[in-house]
Structures are given as C-alpha cells and as structure tokens.
A and B are shown apart, each in its own frame.
Chain A
Amino acid sequence: MTDPRASLLLLLAYLAALASVPVGHNVALTGLCVLPLGLMLYFRAPASLFAKAAYVLPFSFALAAVALLRGQTAAAVFFLFRSYVSILAVLLATHLVSTLELLRAMERLGAPRFLILVTEFLLRYLDVLRQEADAMRLAALCRGAAHSRLVAAASLGMLFVRSLERSTAIHAAMLARGFRGQFPRREALRWQWRDSLLLAGGLVILFAIRLSL
C-alpha cells in the first residue's frame, strides 16, 4: 500500500510541471499527457473518468471560446487540453486514494490540524445536511408552498438553525463516547523505502520530460 503522502506529492509535482509549460509548447504538453494515460491503463481506471473530466470544464471552455473568437486557435486548444489533463490527473488520484487518506497526508505534510479536523467534520455531515435540505424541499412541495423569496429565506434560516442543533447533538454524542476536550492524535503513516523509490522515480520522470521536450 503506497503512503498517501507520496501520491499527493506526485500529484502536486505533476500539476506544477503542467502549469510550468508555456502556451505553444505542445510537445512538452503531449509528453506530460502520456503519464496519466499510462497510469490509467496500469491501474485499470474506469473510462468514465474521461467523461467526468470533460463534464467539469465549463471555466476552461469559456476561456477557450474567447481565444477562439479572437482567432487564437492554438492557445484555445492548449488551454483546454492542459486543464483537461490536469482534471484527469486529479480524478485519477482521487480514484486511487480516498479523500480521507489525502487529508491525512496533508496533515502529515504540515497542513494545520485544525483545518483538517474541520474538513473531516464537513465531509461527515455533508450528506446529512443535504438530505435535510432535500427533505425540507419535499415537505414544501407536499404542502404546496409557493416558490417565493419568503419560503426560500425561511428554508435557509431553518437549515441554519438545524445545523446549529445538529452540532450541539454531535458534541453531546462525543461527550457520551468519552470525549474530554482533546482530539486524539492519529496513528502515524508509515513511509517505506518503496514510497521513496516511487517519489524519486516519479520526480525524475517529470523533470526529464519537462526539461527535455
């Protein structure tokens, strides 16, 4: 099992290498594109990642459209391609390593623990609050509530107050389970020689592609 820190560092190094390719350097860009495609084949990642990467590109599409209208076809294709490959790399990383593991890696690499704790609570209650909002919407439909500003504002207010109540209940549950005001330190991640090898190999390949093409 690879240490998530190695995966995260490689992802960041790859994205930085892509960001450093200037507009028009298509050979370097193509060389870097080969890496995520090879990894997708190696890990047998689902082909749906290709579609998902395209689905989340509206910002880049807008920029590319502007460049196209100004007659800069090469720049448009470059921007679109570079952001598409970047998203593909992130999708591949999050497919191979879970979000919680990535957060743990960030913490071990120096991200503030307080931020990671808040993010973990957010992830834990994300679906709970979304289901709550969905239930409120269904209830409003059932009682035939009009689509008005008053109803929407009341829904937001109610959702906020319920969030406060939910956080009080979470704290009560934490106390019942032995919480004494300190969050326990988690078990340290184990960095092994093969992680060093993977990271060093990955960085050498990235530098080689970036500097030679």
Chain B
Amino acid sequence: MHIPDGILSAPVLASFGAASAAGIAISARRAESLTEARRIPLLGVLGAFVFAAQMVNFPVGPGASGHLLGGALLAVTLGPWAATITMTAILLVQALVFQDGGVLALAANVFNMALLGVWSAWWAYRGLERLGQVRLGVFVAAFLSVTLSAGLALAQVVVSGAELSPGLVFFCGGLFVVTGLIEGAITVAAWEAIAKLEGRSTEPKRLLWPILAASGVVMLVGVFFASQSPDVLEVFNEKTGAASRSRELFAGLLPDYEWRTLPWEWLGKTMAGLVGLLLLYGVSMLLVRLMPKQPQE
C-alpha cells in the first residue's frame, strides 16, 4: 500500500499533493486546538506504538498470521484530527528512515492512509457506535480503512499508466478485502485487550457469524469474478502451457474447474474454485507441518 517514488505520474502526484497539503494543514490546526500541550508526546508515542505493534505477529487462522496496520485503532483512540496527524508522522518516518513508500509519493500515500484511511474508519466507527454496535464499529472501521486506502492506491497506479488486466485488478481487490478482514480482527482484539486492561467492559462476542458470513460472500464474489475475466495467471498459463498440464493432472479431481452436478455454470465454477483453494490451503498446511522447525533463539 505504500507507493514508492517513480510509479505515479506527475498529474496524479500534483492533484493528490494539493489535496493532502490542504487536508494536513486543516487537520494540524484542528488537532493543535483540540490537543493540550501535554498530550503532544502521547501522539508521538502512539505513532511509535504502531511501529512496535507491527512486531507482534498475530495468528489469524491455521498457518496464517498478520500484524496490525493501526490507522483505525488510532482513529478510534485519538479521534480523527489527531489520528490524521499521527498517521502522517508515521508515513513521514517510514519514507525518510525506512524508505517504505516514496518521498514525493507521500502526496498520494498521505491522502490514502492518513486522510481517507483515518476518516473512513472514524465515520464508520461513529455511525455504528451511535447504533450501540461499538465492537462491530471497530471492526468495520479497520476493514474500511484498509480496503479503501488500498483500493485508491491501486486506482492511482492504474491512472498513472500501469496496465493491469481486469482479472488482476479483481485479484488485488480480493487481497485487499482479506487484508481488511485480518486488520478488522486484529484491531478488535487489540481494542478489547486495551479495554480489559483499562477496566472498561466490552460487549459480548457477537461478531463471529457476521465476519464468517462476510468472508464467505467476499470469497464467492471474488471467485466468481476471477472465473469471468482473464488474468495474468492465465497469460502465464498460455505462455508456459502450465494450464493444459495441470488440467490433465487434476482432470480426475476437478474436471475443467467445474462441478458438473451443479445446475448453474457460474455456481459450479465458483464452488470448484473454492474447493481448489481449500485443497491448496491443505497442501500448504501439510508442507508447513512436514518442514523441520527452526530452533528458537
């Protein structure tokens, strides 16, 4: 999501640079008027917390782990103005010290993550908080903050001249949604742990089914779209002939990626894709189990 220098075109940089500069100037003025001087170190330390929190690996499913990205957590705990400034400070340090994202590309990165990411999270959180759904609010805030900023970053890259096939754009969209779901789960867990340590009570757990249902819908839609448009993997297949070989190999198991007993063609493709994904996941898990474990330091 951190776009490096040399990718975006001059018009994209200029337009998002102007929008970011205005947004940050307003946010800094509002944050300064709302933040007492004694809280300024807090913003810096929470910015450093986001860096440190990225060292904590969070298991999100068998064999998979992720880490906190932090935009929504900052918005929920600091409010949108201060969170925008803290997020911008994080992006500045990432660009200048770690070369994670470009210096000129800060124009776009700040807009995507510090403005769109923080404010979309804040509005989602506030809206659901007013309906009494605080936990769901935190989850949706984190999900939107990641998916919207990543989606806009991808759009900026495409507008700048990178030619991506529709299939690849859908694939990236799927990845963003998965990352958003992981960020949502981690943010809710961190938010609950903070509430527990601060002695605040949290709502009972009612999120599992909505999250599972959302994941299922996203997966079905993603697999359906992936089955409709040609993508880079298909180009790769055409060039290397891997498709025909793998088709021959798996012909007995998933003939032509269709489950012939199902009535609708698209549902057949979707279900076959889903089974294929689960199969791949199982094989990966088996490989991880079979690999020798590295000794702990």
A residues in contact (CB < 8 Å) with B: 11-12, 15-16, 18-20, 22-23, 52-53, 56-57, 59-60, 63, 66-67, 69-70, 72, 75, 79, 82-87, 89-91, 94, 99, 102-103, 112-115, 117-126, 128-130, 132-134, 137, 141, 147-149, 152-161, 163-164, 166-167, 170-171, 174, 179, 181-183
Whether, in the assembled complex, B132 has its beta carbon less than 8 Å from a beta carbon of chain A, the answer is: no
Are B40 and A57 in contact, with the CB atoms below 8 A?
no
Are A163 and B48 in contact, with the CB atoms below 8 A?
yes
Of A60, A66, A128, which contacts B48 at CB under 8 A?
A128
Of A134, A137, A160, which contacts B49 at CB under 8 A?
A160
Are A112 and B100 in contact, with the CB atoms below 8 A?
no
Whether, in the assembled complex, B279 has its beta carbon less than 8 Å from a beta carbon of chain A, the answer is: no
Q: Which residues 57-77 in B have Cβ within 8 Å of A in the complex?
A: 57-60, 68, 77
Are A99 and B96 in contact, with the CB atoms below 8 A?
yes
B: interface residue count bin: 35 or more
- Closest 9 CB pairs between A and B? A121-B44, A157-B193, A83-B6, A112-B28, A86-B5, A153-B189, A122-B47, A86-B6, A82-B6
- The secondary-structure label for the interface of chain A is helix
Residue picked from B35, B68, B189, most chain A C-beta under 10 Å:
B189
Are B37 and A182 in contact, with the CB atoms below 8 A?
yes
Q: What distance in Å separates the Cβ of A4 from its nearest Cβ neighbour in chain B?
A: 12
Contacts of B164 in A (CB 8 A): 66
Q: Which residue of B lies closest to A132 (CB)?
A: B52
Residue picked from B6, B7, B157, most chain A C-beta under 10 Å:
B6
B residues in contact (CB < 8 Å) with A: 2-10, 13, 24-25, 28-29, 31-32, 35, 37-49, 51-53, 55-60, 68, 77, 85-86, 88-90, 92-93, 95-100, 102-104, 157, 161-165, 168, 186, 189-190, 192-194, 196-198, 232, 235-236, 239, 296
